């Protein structure tokens, strides 16, 4: 029988097959992506759509063929072929929707798909009511089935390779669909080639499908269903992409939140929580034999002063710079964390000895020792470091931290800028410090503070013209507490301001009384750096002087070198105001800090006090002798007087005299003593009665109480 093919309809059938396959693969991918309840929906819906698509392709292919007779179709068998198409599609989607495709599974999938397509085709052919029946050529039948299986296998394989590869070109995804489409239509047309219609055969009794419009309607319907599916699929893909983007953003926010929760906002260093986490890990590692470690507790010296006097933004910048230096100073695996304020912690892994931990501490101290430039200011910072070792000092996290803190406070008590390892006898210092702090709050109002006075002696004449007021705390339970044990606490808590004001008042009151009694001693008062920077300083001084009607020249203020050199520029202004008031100003502990000589020239300062450490070493170390000489010459060239502190031996005094030092102060002549005992000593040994004028005194070079004489205050 003569058959011809309408090439437009053939092309349409192939296009439908490709379109169907493309949709099917997308659906399969959707099924893998989707959350569970939706999977069934997509598998079922997809199978229906795909089945209808394959089936339509088959019928368009049938209609593309025109024969000399009209073909009649058995409706039941036709519907059965549709069911087979849907079942095949269902199986194929299930197989294609697995996460990984093994060779066996691929083979199985190809069999189901290719076999199913062929089954549908031959069932569809069987629906044709024709007598005599169609003859099939076995070779072509075999070829059509094999072709379907091979094409399905290739298409499945390709689709799997591309799955999940989001960077693959969208067109490359089309490759699988084209292969599959060719497989479906190839199976059909090879199957058609296998069919031999016996000439003269007649078809009747069933449904007639022969018009071009019928094909168009089927194609349109199939295309419509497929298009709807594809659109809804594209839409959900878009939704999924958005959901993925949201999830990505959420992950990012989560990571950010975690970073914030574990890091300090100001410096970017790990915070307390993060540090404790790592400390916990280190402890666990150490227990499993992964090595001992050290905890270093750091606290900046005088940070409160810098923060309060230079402003918080400068303080913040300083902390950031300190953080940078700390990170650079420690070894690569060590953790630097900021606890709060100016407190930092370092976790140093694989530290076996105190000496090793000490080396790390040294490099930190060294790294912080270079002046910091902040906002055109040059600021000096230093830190006190306490060290505790695991397993040597403690086993538990809290104890390790507490011990490092104790050691740090001990380093502070030693004057700061140093490190200290924990020792058992430090235990309890922290609680002790807290108790001391609360006691100090009440010390002033309960009258537990008093001033002792240490005479200063003229090196050449041996006369005493001034005394230094040194603060003492008479604690009801602990007896005398030395200033170095409580002044740092007073500075940290800000208590130094009311205490300092009291010292000024008390010193002026005593100076007035001595003056009234005919002992015109100038009283030198130590000013804390915090007081020096405080805006009410001039008012406090003026009030203290006025209250006693004391001539300003009988009051001297000692300010430490490091206090004046920190922000030297503003120091010049403060010092000029003090000098205009007429009070005497001296720089205490000179030589221990970092001095900018060009500023020293601009400071209106009356005298320099050479730190006791120079005096102590002067006779043993030639270098120190040279430095002392240089300081004295420098001071004299700037018209300043020089006082040596901590003079304990006649040899030291002799050397100072040889170097031209003006005055000295120290145990050699006398320890600090209460006003009453100082006065009675002065009077008894000098043989002076109250009211006797200092002008009647004679010169005496040897420093003994017996020969003690007063000088008038014109030095
Ligand atoms: P500073 O102003 O340098 O005072 C000298 C310190 O050396 C005093 O210690 C004094 O007792 C001690 N000293 C004097 N002669 C000798 C000696 O020959 N050998 C030795 N080894 N030491 C000697 P002190 O009284 O313990 O005071 C320590 C520091 O406390 C003072 O150092 C000062 O910076 C501070 N300070 C004392 N009173 C006050 C105060 O009222 N206000 C403030 N802000 N600070 C104060
Ligand atoms: Mg002093
Ligand atoms: Mg001093």
- DSSP assignments along 394-447, one per residue: -SSHHHHHHHHHHHHHHHHHTTSS-EEE--GGGTTHHHHHHHHHHHHHHHTTTT
Helix (H, G, I), strand (E, B) or coil at 113: helix
Task: Kindly report which listed range (74-88, 153-167, 241-255) carries the lowest average pLDDT score.
Answer: 153-167
Give, using CA atoms, the residue closest to atom 41 of ligand 1: 471
Give the ligand 1 atom nearest the CA of 454: 14
pLDDT, tens only, 590-634: 987 666 677 788 899 999 999 998 999 888 888 889 889 989 998
Average pLDDT over residues 224-228: 70
C-alpha distances out from residue 211 to 124, 215, 361, 432, Å? 18, 7, 96, 105
Pair of tokens at residue 264: 């300090």
- Given ligand 1 and candidates 526, 610, 618, which is best to mutate, with the most ligand atoms within 8 Å of its CB? 526
Environment of ion ligand 3 (residues, CB < 5 A): 588-589, 645
Whether the CB-CB separation of 448 and 474 falls below 8 Å is answered with: yes
Measured in Å, residue 483 CA sits from the centre of ligand 1 at: 7
For a mutational test of ligand 1's pocket, the pick from 483, 555, 618, i.e. the residue with the most ligand atoms closer than 8 A to its C-beta, is: 483
Render pLDDT for 398-413 as a digit per residue (tens, 0 to 9): 889 999 998 998 898 8
Q: How far apart are CA 297 and CA 444, in angstroms?
A: 32
Give the per-residue pLDDT at 689. Answer: 35
Distances 241 to 33, 35, 236, 248, 655 between C-alpha atoms, Å: 11, 14, 8, 10, 87
- Cα separation of 372 and 643, whole Å? 30
The Cβ of residue 370 has, within 10 Å, a number of other Cβ atoms equal to 11
Give the Å distance between the CA of 645 and the centre of ligand 3: 6
Q: Diameter of the chain by CA atoms? A: 161
CA 668 to ligand 1: nearest atom: 18
Residue 548 near ligand 1, beta carbon < 6 Å: no
CA distance 563 to 698: 39
Residue-wise burial string across 27-41, b where 16 or more C-beta atoms lie within 10 A, e elsewhere: bbbbbebbeeeebee
Q: For residue 491, which atom of ligand 1 is closest to its CA?
A: 44
Statement: residue 212 has pLDDT above 70: no
- Ligand 1 and 667: CB distance under 6 A: yes
How far, in Å, CA of 576 to CA of 593, rounded?
A: 22
User: How far apart (Å, rounded) are the C-alpha atoms in residues 62 and 627?
Assistant: 113
Tokens 């995804």, located at residue: 173
What's the pLDDT score for residue 154? 85
Structure tokens at 683: 């009077």
Q: Is the pLDDT of residue 703 over 50?
A: no
Residue 561 alpha carbon to ligand 1 centre in Å: 14
Mean pLDDT of the chain, nearest integer? 84
Using a 6 Å cutoff on CB, does residue 484 contact ligand 1? yes
What's the average model confidence in pLDDT over 112-135? Answer: 87
Rounded to the nearest whole angstrom, what is the distance from the C-alpha of residue 645 to the centroid of ligand 2?
9
The number of CA neighbours under 13 Å toward the Cβ of 211 is 5
Cα torsion angle, 281, 286, 290, 293, sign:
positive
Judged against a pLDDT cut of 60, whether residue 200 lies above it is answered with yes
Given a cut of 50, whether residue 162 has pLDDT beyond it is: yes
Please compute the mean of the pLDDT values over residues 328-346 and round it to a whole number.
93
- Output the CA–CA distances (angstroms, integers) from residue 3 to 6, 199, 443, in the order listed: 10, 11, 120
Closest ligand to the CA of 589: 3
Nearest ligand, measured from the Cα of 611 = 3
- In ligand 1, which atom is closest to the CA atom of 665? 15
Q: Is 611 in the pocket of ligand 1 (CB under 6 A)?
A: no
With 60 as the cut, is the pLDDT of residue 701 above it? Answer: no
How many Cα atoms are found within 13 Å in the side-chain-facing hemisphere of 564?
Answer: 32
> Where does the pLDDT of residue 651 fall: very low under 50, low under 70, confident under 90, or very high at 90 and above?
very high
Is residue 343 lining ligand 1, measured as CB closer than 6 Å?
no
Q: How far is the CA of 478 from the centre of ligand 1 (A)?
A: 20
Residue 611 φ then ψ, to 5°: -65, 145
Radius of gyration of the chain (CA): 49
Quote the CA–CA distance of 638 and 626 in Å, as a whole number. Answer: 18
Element (H, E) at 586: strand 584-590
Measured over the CA atoms of residue 349, residue 355, residue 361 and residue 362, the dihedral's sign is: negative
Residue 15 CA to its chain's centroid (Å): 60
Torsion region of 592: left, alpha or beta (phi above 0 gives left; psi -120 to 50 gives alpha): alpha
Rounded CA-CA distance 471/453 in Å is 9
Give the residue whose CA is nearest to atom 33 of ligand 1.
526
- For residue 693, the SS3 value is coil
* Nearest by Cα to 121 from 77, 75, 180: 77
Give the percent of the chain with pLDDT over 70.
Answer: 88
Domains of the chain: 4-242 (no CATH), 272-424 (3.30.70.270), 444-674 (3.20.20.450)
The band of 37, judged by pLDDT with boundaries at 50, 70 and 90, is low
Alpha-carbon distances, residue 81 vs 61, 66, 141, 143 (angstroms):
15, 21, 17, 20
Q: What is the pTM of this model?
A: 0.52
Which band of pLDDT confidence, cut at 50, 70 and 90, is reported for residue 691?
very low
- Which ligand 1 atom is the nearest neighbour of the CA of 500? 42
Q: How big is the CA angle at 539 (ends 538 and 540), to the nearest 5 degrees? A: 90
Ligand 1 probe mutation, 593, 614, 645, most atoms within 8 A of CB: 645
Ligand (nearest to CA of 503): 1
Count CB-CB contacts under 10 A for residue 96. 26
Alpha carbon of 128 to ligand 3 centroid (Å): 118
- The mean pLDDT value for 668-680 works out to 92
């Amino acid at each position: 029988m003569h058959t011809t093919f309408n090439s437009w309809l053939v092309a349409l059938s192939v296009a439908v097959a490709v379109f169907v396959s493309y949709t099917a693969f997308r659906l399969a991918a959707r099924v893998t992506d989707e959350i569970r309840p939706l999977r069934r929906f997509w598998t079922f819906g997809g199978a229906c759509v795909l089945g209808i698509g394959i089936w339509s392709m088959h019928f368009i292919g049938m209609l593309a063929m025109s024969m000399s007779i009209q073909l009649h179709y058995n409706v039941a068998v036709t519907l059965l072929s549709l069911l087979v198409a849907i079942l095949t599609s269902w199986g194929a989607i299930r197989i294609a929707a697995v996460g990984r495709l093994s060779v066996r599974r691929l083979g199985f999938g190809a069999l189901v798909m290719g076999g199913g397509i062929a089954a549908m085709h031959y069932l569809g052919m069987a629906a044709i009511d024709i007598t005599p029946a169609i003859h099939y050529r076995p070779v072509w039948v075999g070829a059509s089935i094999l072709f379907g299986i091979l094409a399905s296998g290739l298409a499945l394989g390709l689709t799997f390779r591309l799955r999940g590869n989001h960077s693959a070109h969208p067109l490359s995804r089309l490759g699988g669909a084209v292969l599959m489409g060719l497989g479906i239509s190839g199976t059909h047309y090879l199957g058609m080639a296998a069919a031999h219609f016996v000439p003269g055969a007649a078809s009747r009794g069933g449904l007639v499908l022969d018009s071009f419009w019928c094909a168009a309607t089927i194609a349109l319907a199939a295309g419509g269903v497929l298009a709807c599916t594809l659109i809804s699929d594209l839409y959900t893909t878009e939704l999924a992409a958005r959901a993925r983007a949201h999830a990505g953003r959420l992950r990012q926010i989560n990571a950010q939140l975690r970073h914030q929760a574990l890091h300090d906002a100001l410096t970017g260093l790990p915070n307390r929580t993060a540090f404790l986490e790592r400390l916990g890990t280190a402890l666990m590692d150490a227990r499993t034999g992964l090595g001992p470690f050290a905890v270093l507790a750091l606290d900046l010296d005088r940070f409160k002063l810098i923060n309060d006097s230079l402003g918080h933004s400068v303080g913040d910048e300083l902390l950031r710079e300190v953080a940078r230096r700390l990170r650079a100073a420690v070894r690569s695996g060590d953790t630097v964390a900021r606890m709060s304020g100016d407190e930092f912690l370092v976790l140093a892994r694989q530290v076996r000895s105190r000496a090793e931990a000490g080396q790390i501490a040294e490099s930190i101290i060294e790294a912080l020792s270079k002046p910091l430039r902040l906002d055109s200011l040059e600021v000096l910072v230093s830190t006190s470091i306490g060290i505790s070792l695991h397993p040597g000092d403690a086993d538990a996290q809290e104890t390790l931290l507490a011990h490092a803190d104790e050691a740090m406070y001990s380093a502070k008590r030693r004057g700061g800028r140093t490190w200290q390892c924990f020792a058992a006898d430090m235990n309890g210092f922290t609680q002790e410090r807290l108790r001391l702090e609360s006691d100090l709050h009440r010390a002033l109002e309960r009258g537990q503070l008093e001033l002792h006075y240490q005479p200063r002696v003229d090196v050449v004449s041996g006369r005493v013209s001034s005394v230094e007021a040194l603060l003492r705390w008479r604690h009801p339970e602990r007896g005398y507490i030395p200033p170095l044990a409580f002044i740092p606490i007073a500075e940290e808590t800000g208590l130094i301001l009311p205490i300092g004001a009291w010292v000024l008042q008390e010193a002026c009151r005593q100076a007035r009384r001595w003056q009234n009694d005919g002992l015109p001693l100038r009283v030198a008062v130590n000013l804390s750096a915090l007081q020096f920077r405080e805006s009410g300083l001039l008012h406090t001084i003026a009030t203290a002087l006025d209250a006693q009607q004391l001539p300003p020249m009988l009051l001297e203020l000692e300010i430490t070198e490091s206090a004046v050199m920190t922000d030297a520029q503003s120091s010049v202004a403060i010092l000029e105001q003090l000098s205009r008031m007429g009070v005497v100003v001296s720089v205490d502990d000179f030589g221990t800090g970092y001095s900018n000589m060009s500023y020293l020239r601009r400071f209106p300062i009356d005298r320099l006090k050479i730190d006791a450490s120079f005096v102590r070493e002067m006779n043993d170390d030639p270098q120190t002798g040279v430095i002392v000489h240089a300081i004295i010459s420098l001071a004299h060239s700037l018209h300043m007087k020089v006082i040596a502190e901590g003079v304990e031996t006649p040899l030291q005094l002799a050397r100072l005299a040889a170097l031209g030092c003006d005055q000295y102060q120290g145990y050699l002549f006398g320890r600090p003593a209460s006003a009453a005992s100082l006065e009675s000593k002065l009077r008894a040994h000098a043989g002076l009665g109250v009211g006797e004028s200092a002008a009647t005194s004679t010169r005496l070079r040897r420093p003994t109480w017996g020969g003690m004489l007063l000088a008038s205050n014109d030095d």
